[in-house]
Structures are given as C-alpha cells and as structure tokens.
Amino acid sequence: MTKRYMRAVAAIAVPVCLASAPLAAADKQDLQTILQEVKALKKTYENRIATLENKLKSLEKKKASAAKPATPASSSRSIKGNSFNPSIGLILNGRVSSFSEKNSEISGFGVGEEGERGKEGLSIGESEINFSANVDDKFYASSTVAIVQEDGSDKIELEEAYIQTLPDAGLPDGLRLKAGRAFWTLGYLNEHHSHADDFADRPLPYRAFLNKSFNDDGVEISYVVPADLFIEFGGGVFRGDDFPSGGSVSGLGAWSAYARIGGDIGDNQAWRLGAYTLHTDVNSRATNEDSVTFIGKSNLYAADLRYTWAPTGNAKDKEFIFQTEYFHRNEDGTYNDSNAATGNVNFDDSAQGWYAQTVYKFAPSWRVGARYSQLLAADTPARLTGSALDSAGHDPSTMSVMGDWTNSEFGRLRVQYNREELSNGKEDNQFILQYIMSIGAHGAHAF
C-alpha cells in the first residue's frame, strides 16, 4: 500500500519539476515586470491611504475645534464660583406709628435705649442683613448686621456673629457649642429675631429686663437628651457687656443656665416649657439716656411656656398659639440717678414682669392677636423717691391687639394698637402700621 502510494507521488512530482524548470527560465523577465507593477501598485495605494488618513485627521481636528465653542465654559456665565458663597438674606422692616402721649417712661425701672418706645411717625425699623453658611464639615457660621437709626444717624449694629458646631464636629450626639455673639437661649423671644415676633414691639419685661434682647459676646453649650420627651439643657458664659450687664472689666462677667422640655399632645398640638437663669456682674450700667447708673449684681430668672394647636395639622392654614413668659429679677448694688441727684443709693430688691399672648390664624393669610404685659416694680428706697426709679406704687402695663396679613412666607403687613400705662395716670394710645419683607435666603424659624 505504502509503496504504491510513494510511486504515485513520484509519478506526479517528477513531471511537474521537469516542466517548471524550462517555464521559469522563459518567463523570468515577465515575472520581474509583474513584480515591479505590483510594487508600483502597492506604492500608489500606500500613498492614497496616507493622503486619506491625513484628510481624516484634519477633519477630526476641525470637528473638535468646531465643537469647542458649544461647551458651556465659554458660552454661558459660570456660576461655580458663587456656589460656595454664603446664603444672603435681607429683612426690610418699616413702620408708621402714632402715640397719644408725648413722653414714655417706664416708671420704677432703669430702661436702656432699645427698651424705649419706638419713634413716632414714619421710620424704617431694623433692616437686617444676614450671611450664613457651613464653614466646613464641622462648623456653621452666621452673621446678622442690623442697620438702625439712632440719634439721627444710621448706625450698623452687629446683632449676631457666631459659629456653631455641626453634627460632624466630633462632639457627642446632641451636644452643640455656639460661640461669638448671638441671641442667646433665654426665655422664648430672646432667641428669635424681632422680625419673627408676632407683635410689632417686644413686651414690657423684654424692654425693662433685657433692653429688648440679650446678645452679649460669649459661648453657649446645649445638650438634647436622647429620650422620647424633648429634654434640653445648657448654659453659657458671657463677656458681661450687654444689658443687663454693663462695663465688663474681667471680660467674663455673666453666666447662664437653662433647661426645657417639650412634646406633642395628640397629632396637632405641641408645647414647650422652659426655665432659665442669667447672672451678671454689673460694673456700670447706664440707662435712661445715661442718667441712671447701676453697679452691683443682677440675677434674672425666667420661665416660658408655648403651646400651639393647628386644628387640621397644618399651621399654614389655621393655628392657635398661646405664649407666656415670666421674669423675676433680683438686683443687689447701688443705683444713682444723676437727673434727680440721688447720689449712690444702696439697693437690694426684686422686680417681676410677665406677659401672655394669643395669636389666632383664622385664614391662611390672616391672623389676629392679643397680648397683655405687666411689670411689678421693686419698692422704692426712700432716697430714690422722685427719681426715675420711683414707681410711685404704679405697675406699668400694656394691652395690645394686632392683626396681620401675610401674602407669602416672605412678606407681611401688620397693624397694632397698644394701650400703655407705663407711669401713673399717663395713658398712651399707640397705633402702629408695619411691614416686614424678606428677600434672599431665609432660614426656617424655630418652634
């Protein structure tokens, strides 16, 4: 089998070899020309491909350069640089007031400038500019500047400038630290900016005991307890420059503490109850246009209660709010009324003040409210008789009613009537018409 196979292969191979030898000899030149032609062909094709490739490359380049102007970087305003800017909010507040009494003095109390009755006629109230933002992952910062008119010229007041820790700051859960200048935790209203108030002016105890609000320089710590009931307590240390302190020498002249609890009743009612104390070292506190001076210690104790009821659960549509605060102040030191030439008079006594108010929102844009506030002056030491600190047995009081219209969350118009009897026999009938508008960022209001 294999032999026959080998023979067959040989039979085919030999004649092929014999035949190819003369063929190669004859067509050697033809083959060379063919090879040359193929080489030439190859060259032309290579050239053509190269030119095509070049054309493609230049087309791609053109396309890329044509696409560039369409990218937003150059065609539209880049706002990336603004995205890290702080939130900016502006509160505009203006009013027109009319008073039936020419003068307004709260008898029996040394009252600071901001605790006084506002200006009569047309005026703009505090216009506030607020900047706020997270500093980084650990801190939040906020600053509120108020432009106020005092003694006929515009002044800039730094109402708040503080930093506050964020949940990421590494403090234990529920613990927060606030440092700088702020409306510190003291009663209900003090923490809030006055544009958020339900009435056009602050109630009497705030005017007499806090000169409208306590925003000294300081540090405050607060802690929310992990419990079903809302339980919070905290306290702070302050410089001791702001009313009720004054003229800080040590730079560490006041401290505070507070505790409060709160919760819900059913689905649509909420409450919060608080107790507060503020102890200050008063090196020199000038009031009543600098005629009255107090030096000594001032201890303030306060309690507040706030209750809200939204019948449908939607406070936006209908809501009833009841709010009350009580203040007790004990002062130990010396009073001096230069107008009455009393000289330094020893003083160690207590005064009280309170207010209660209800506000009822009966339609989404409409609210009405009533407030009563009263001060109970300390007994007048004999040597202060006839001075600004002589209450003459009178307890200053104010009855207020208001109505306001809220077009949106950002704009509100209010009309208010006050009947004030701040000193004996002087009944002051006041009408106030007020607008409060906010533009830009506007943080949510706390409870």
Partner 1 sequence: MARMHFKGQAMFRNLSLISVLLLGWALPAPASAEVRIFACEPEWAALAREIGGDKVTAYSATHEKQDPHHIRARPSLIAKIRRADLVFCSGAGLEIGWLPLLMQRGARAKIRPGTPGYFMAAQHVTVREKPAVVDRSMGDVHPDGNPHIHLDPRNILPIARELVKRLSVIDPDNSAVFTANLKKFDKEWGMTLKQWEEEAHDLKNMPIVVHHRSWSYLIGWLGLREIGSLEAKPGIPPTASHLQALLKKAIAAKTRAILRTPYDQAAPSNWLSERTKIPALVLPYTVPRDAKSGTLKILFDDILVKLRQANVHP
Give contact residues for partner 1 (rule: CB under 8 A). 140, 165-168, 171, 173-176, 223-233, 235, 250, 255, 257, 260-264, 267, 270-272, 279, 281, 297, 308, 310, 312-317, 364-365, 408-410, 439, 443-447
Distance between CA 199 and CA 188 in Å, rounded?
Answer: 14
> Least distance to partner 1 from the beta carbon of 389, Å?
23
> Least distance to partner 1 from the beta carbon of 235, Å?
6
Distance between CA 256 and CA 185 in Å, rounded?
Answer: 9
366 close to 415: Cβ distance less than 8 angstroms:
no
Reference 389, options 325, 328, 427, 343; nearest CA is: 343
> Least distance to partner 1 from the beta carbon of 127, Å?
19
Between 202 and 260, name the residue whose CB sits nearer to partner 1: 260
Instruction: Identify the helix (H) or strand (E) that includes residue 274.
Output: strand 269-287
Between 131 and 372, name the residue whose CB sits nearer to partner 1: 131
3-state secondary structure of 26: helix
291 close to 284: Cβ distance less than 8 angstroms:
no
> Least distance to partner 1 from the beta carbon of 321, Å?
10
> Least distance to partner 1 from the beta carbon of 199, Å?
19
The DSSP bridge pattern shows strands 319-337 and 292-309 to be antiparallel
Q: Which amino acid is at 23?
A: L
Between 270 and 359, name the residue whose CB sits nearer to partner 1: 270
Phi and psi of 37, rounded to 5°?
-65, -45
3-state secondary structure of 321: strand
> Least distance to partner 1 from the beta carbon of 96, Å?
26
> Least distance to partner 1 from the beta carbon of 50, Å?
48
> Least distance to partner 1 from the beta carbon of 308, Å?
7
What is residue 232's DSSP assignment?
E
String of DSSP letters for 39-83? HHHHHHHHHHHHHHHHHHHHHHHHHHHHHGGGSHHHHS---GGGT
Encoding tokens for residue 41? 């062909």
126 close to 392: Cβ distance less than 8 angstroms:
no
Between 142 and 380, name the residue whose CB sits nearer to partner 1: 142
Between 16 and 444, name the residue whose CB sits nearer to partner 1: 444
> Least distance to partner 1 from the beta carbon of 429, Å?
35
The residue assigned the tokens 């003369």 is 22
Between 106 and 302, name the residue whose CB sits nearer to partner 1: 302
Between 15 and 167, name the residue whose CB sits nearer to partner 1: 167
Between 168 and 289, name the residue whose CB sits nearer to partner 1: 168
Between 169 and 399, name the residue whose CB sits nearer to partner 1: 169
What is residue 246's DSSP assignment?
B
Between 9 and 444, name the residue whose CB sits nearer to partner 1: 444
Distance between CA 35 and CA 49 in Å, rounded?
Answer: 21
> Least distance to partner 1 from the beta carbon of 223, Å?
7
Distance between CA 404 and CA 363 in Å, rounded?
Answer: 11
